[in-house]
Structure formats: C-alpha cells, structure tokens
Amino acid sequence: MYDPLPSPEEMAHWDRATMDLGLPASVLMENAARAALDELEREVGTPRGKRVLLLAGKGNNGGDALALARMLHCRGADVLVLRLGAKGEYKGEAGMNLRLLDGLDIPHRHARSARSVRDDALAFAPHAVVDGLLGTGFRGELRADYKEWVNLINEFCQRSAVLALDVPTGLDARTGRPSPTAVRANATVSFESAKAGMLLPGAGEYIGRLAEPHIGIPPVVKQANPTALLRMTDRLARLADSPSSEAHKGTFGHLLVLGGSRGLTGAPALSCLGALRGGVGLATAACPGGVATEVKAGLPEAMTFPLGREEHWSSGLVPLLSEELSRFQAVVAGPGMGRDQGARGALEAYLALEERPDTCFDADALYWLAESPELRSRLRSGDVVTPHPLEAARLLGEKTAYIQSDRQAAVGDLASSLGCVAVLKGAGTLVAAPERRTRFCPVAEPALAVAGAGDVLAGLLGAALARGMAPLDAACFAVYVHGFTGSLLGRSNRERGLLASEIADALPRGLKEMRTNANGQRHHEPRGYNPLP
C-alpha cells in the first residue's frame, strides 16, 4: 500500500548498505547509466545518428553521465562530453568511466565555464542534452558558475530534449525548490526512487516527466533501513474489499455526520454524499431540527437525525444523540456546525461522551479545537483531524508560513501534540500518526481546490472508518482515493469548474481504476507525479 520515499541522505545510506553487502559501486553506476539510456531512448528514439551533449560534474552524478556517454557511443550516437573538472579531479567510479572514454576515443574536454563553450555547444545542435552536473546531495545556493551552466542547459529546452540524472541541477531534492534557479528538464530519471522533495508541489516544472528505475538496491536493504516518509500507492484500493454476494447495507457500516446549521446545510449533505459514494452502507446527518428538512433535501439518499427544534447547535442537543450512538460505527463532526458558542458547547459535550465512536474532526470542529486546549486534550488515538494549512497553524499556535515551510515536520507535530491521526491537506497531502512514519500523497490537483471538496473528503474518511479500517489507513485511503479521483477529473474533464458533488460522484470510478492499477492491468498516476510513459 505504501512505498518508501527516501530523502537524499536515506538514499545515500541505501547505497552504502548495498555496497557493504558486496555489490560494487561500479555496478550501481553501470545500472544507473543503463537505466538513463533507456529513458533517453524513450525521449529521442534510437541513439544511432543522434547528437547528444552530456555535461558531467566532478562527483558520482558526473560519473553516471560519463558511463552513459560510453553506452551512447556504443549505440552509434554522436557524443560530446563537457567536463566541469580537470581529469585528475575525477576519482573512484567516475574516474574509471573517464578513463574508459579515453580508451574508446570518445570526445570529452574540460569546459572551464559555460560562457567559454556556449557557442560551440549551440553549434553542436544536440538532439538531447544530459544534465549530470549536481546530484541529490546538493543543498544551499548554486554558485555563480553553476548558474551559468543551468542557464546554458535551459537554452536548449526549446530545441533539444533535456534529461536530468537523478535530479535537475539546482533543485533541492529535500525541499523541491530551485536554489535560486534550476534546470528545467523534459524528463528526470531518479535512480531507485524519487527523493522526497521531488514530488512536492512546484518541483514538477523542473522535473518534467519522472522515471524511477531500479538500479539494484536489494529489498533487504530497504527493509533494514526504513525511510521516514512513505508514499501512498494505488494498492490502497485493497483496503476496500470487494463485496460478497451476500452483503447488505449493514455490512458496510453506518456513518453519522454531526453538522449543519442555518445557512450551512450543504456541508453535512456533501459529507454524507462523500460517504455513500465512498462505499458506506448507511449515512445519517444529525443536525438541529430547524434545518433538518434542508439537509435532507440536499441528499435524499441520506437519513437525518433532527435534534430539537432550533436552527443552531447547543450543548443540550447532544444528550438527545448520546443514546443512539451505538448504532454508528464512526462519526464525522464539524461540517457546517457553525462558529457560535452553541456549536462550541455541542462539541464539548460530544467530546465528553465516554462511548463515542472513532471520529473525524473537520471544518468548524477544528476551529473550536484550536480555540481550546481543554477540547484538544479530549481527542483519542482513534480520532482523525483534517486541517488545511491555516487550520493547522491555529492548532499549533503558529503562522501558516511556518506550516508550509516544512509540512512534514508540521504534520508530525500535529499528530504528536494531539495524540491522534493528523491529515495536513493541500497539494501533496501528508498523513501522520504518533510514533508512526508519515505518509505522503503524490497529488497536486487544482480541480480539488473548490468549496465543499473538504466536506466530501471528510465523509469519505468517515466511510473508511465505518467500514472497519484502522484510523491511519482510513485517512490514507480517503486522501488517496479523493486525490486520485480529482486527478482523473482534471485530466478527462476540466481543471476548474468542477463541483464538489461531481468529485463525490466520481469516487466509485476512481476506486475502480485504482484497483485495476493495483492488479497490474493498467496504470494511471495522479497529476503531480508525471511518470515517463
């Protein structure tokens, strides 16, 4: 259901552990170069007769480029290698591959600056340019001379295919941000796995299409050296078992949505719709009695549980509900509940119930949790909170910029401080639980940026809880299915103008396609991932 998503440091540790087992570094470099050759062929076709310009830095990334140059030469390509260092600066496997170029009379020369070779490089008119200047170990800010090289490579973007080895030069593989500029590759071949920052929002415009070929890191190495971050995959569809022929609506759980108030009746209806489209057997909206008719009108397939006769929540409504809670396997609290003191009192009374089911707290419930440390202290390990960045900032007493500057740390802080599962929404949603590895959803889909989409997600998450999934898996299942479905709609329909109800209505299709992919029948990746075809 999840794949490891290493940081550059964790990837380097995998490399060292693999070599400690006895697999030479030269074999890993050879495998990397061969994988890069495969991807370059996908970009420009057969190498024979093609002109390929390769830029080789002084480290292992440059060594990969030198090994690739030899393979291209053997396939009949017209190769030109520009080295950023003198011959004596290439050590180890990179030095070995440089000596092989000499033995095969493959042209290479020391280019002391991009400016000095710019005209010759442009005159070479390459069909493809290979960026092997800096690898995933880069951090900080590019030196002035490297900025010149980046600018030169980017000049080729309109006339040549640009392939980056492991990561485009100038892009920080930890943060996914240029420092301050980066190569804009048509494609990036990231060896063994993408690195964590490369899948973050904004990195895609530099990464281009992404390939992640295996280069020989054994599974035992990955198992012995787990990454801090895991990537959600289509295999999450397996959490939702296919129904048996004897199934009935009670088989798939009963979800209760606490929400709705005057002027805010659409939110609980959308949550119920998300739950029903997400596979729950029964969905009921508990709301103040004065708005029950409006909530019911928004979704006739859901049931309503009118509480009293008022149009707003109050603490006195919760006792009317408490005796019936045993009928429900999970609860979603907050959509359309409101931000008056009555809503706060109702949430406080609900949190005080001893026998309440696992609950997803969303929307207005998050507002009141942020307002009161006492309310936050009543959260349980089986609960899930689903804040967007502003709500997360309020829950942690921080600024939104702080949350967005290190989302992985922020979601971990949320989970540990609240003692429950935390979902940090946004492009590249993260899910964390106390003392568990963080999960990452590789989706950046603008179609999901619409009012009501969060209500649908909360309902889908509640449905997963009601169907018996553990809170962490339920959160990841809901986040990924929601994102995957939004990506399908964004690709096949339109990026803007979708309604939240349309996202909900497409959830069965999204889950079906995920299950098809997980069974290996065909493959679709959510937007923001951009694999090579």
Provide the terminal-to-terminal Cα distance of the chain, rounded to the nearest Å: 22
Q: Give how far Cα 240 sits from Cα of 337, 470, 513, Å.
A: 29, 12, 13
**pLDDT-derived band of residue 246, with 50, 70 and 90 as boundaries?**
low
With H, G, I as helix, E, B as strand and everything else as coil, classify residue 312.
coil
**pLDDT-derived band of residue 531, with 50, 70 and 90 as boundaries?**
very low
pLDDT at position 525: 54
Question: φ and ψ at 81, to 5 degrees?
Answer: -110, 125
With the C-alpha atoms ordered 181, 187, 192, 196, is the resulting torsion angle positive or negative? positive
Tens-place pLDDT, residues 495-519: 678 899 999 999 999 999 999 998 8
Q: Give how far Cα 165 sits from Cα of 11, 312, 353, 448, Å.
A: 15, 58, 56, 32
Residue 247: count other Cβ atoms within 10 Å of its Cβ.
Answer: 12
Tens-place pLDDT, residues 45-66: 999 999 999 999 999 999 999 9
Environment class of 88 (CB within 10 Å of its CB; exposed 0-12, middle 13-18, buried 19+): exposed
Tens-place pLDDT, residues 424-440: 999 899 999 999 999 99
pLDDT at position 241: 75
d(CA 319, CA 476): 32
d(CA 467, CA 470): 9
pLDDT at position 249: 73
With H, G, I as helix, E, B as strand and everything else as coil, classify residue 3.
strand
Q: Give how far Cα 236 sits from Cα of 44, 331, 350, 441, 512, Å.
A: 35, 22, 31, 11, 11
| Consecutive H or E run containing 10 | helix 8-20
**Residue 236 predicted with pLDDT over 70:** yes
CB 215 within 8 Å of CB 223? no
pTM value is 0.91
**Residue 533 predicted with pLDDT over 80:** no
Residue 278: count other Cβ atoms within 10 Å of its Cβ.
Answer: 31
Residue 481: count other Cβ atoms within 10 Å of its Cβ.
Answer: 29
> Could you give all domains of the chain from N- to C-terminal order, each with its CATH number?
2-227 (3.40.50.10260), 234-518 (3.40.1190.20)
The mean pLDDT of 77-106, rounded to a whole number, is 96
| Consecutive H or E run containing 211 | strand 209-211
pLDDT at position 496: 77
**pLDDT-derived band of residue 528, with 50, 70 and 90 as boundaries?**
low
Tens-place pLDDT, residues 363-391: 999 999 999 999 999 999 999 999 999 99
d(CA 54, CA 180): 23
Task: Give residue 427's identity as a one-letter amino acid code.
Answer: A
Q: Give how far Cα 267 sits from Cα of 325, 333, 338, Å.
A: 21, 11, 11
Tens-place pLDDT, residues 185-235: 999 999 999 998 999 888 999 999 999 999 999 999 999 999 999 999 999
pLDDT at position 529: 46
Tens-place pLDDT, residues 312-353: 999 999 999 988 999 999 999 999 999 999 999 999 999 999
The mean pLDDT of 297-309, rounded to a whole number, is 94
Residue 267 corresponds to which tokens in the numbers above?
Answer: 């939110």
Instruction: Give the helix ranges, DSSP H, for 138-211.
Output: 144-155, 204-207
CB 440 within 8 Å of CB 194? no
Q: At what angle do helices 453-466 and 266-277 cross, to 10 degrees?
A: 50
Tens-place pLDDT, residues 157-177: 889 999 999 999 999 999 999
CB 187 within 8 Å of CB 532? yes
Q: In what order do the strands lie in the sheet with 359-361?
A: 2-4, 229-232, 438-440, 430-432, 421-424, 384-385, 359-361, 330-333, 254-258, 282-288, 303-307
CB 20 within 8 Å of CB 12? no
Helices (H) and strands (E) in the chain, counts: 21, 18
The mean pLDDT of 457-464, rounded to a whole number, is 98
Express as a percent the part of the chain with pLDDT over 70.
96
Q: Across the chain, what does the average pLDDT equal?
A: 94
pLDDT at position 521: 56
Tens-place pLDDT, residues 118-136: 999 999 999 999 999 999 9
**Full DSSP string of 34-98:** HHHHHHHHHHHS--TT-EEEEEE-SSHHHHHHHHHHHHHHHTT-EEEEEESS-GGG--HHHHHHH
Residue 411 corresponds to which tokens in the numbers above?
Answer: 């979601």
**pLDDT-derived band of residue 14, with 50, 70 and 90 as boundaries?**
very high
Instruction: Using DSSP bridges, classify how beta strands 282-288 and 254-258 pair: parallel, antiparallel or unpaired.
Output: parallel
pLDDT at position 229: 97
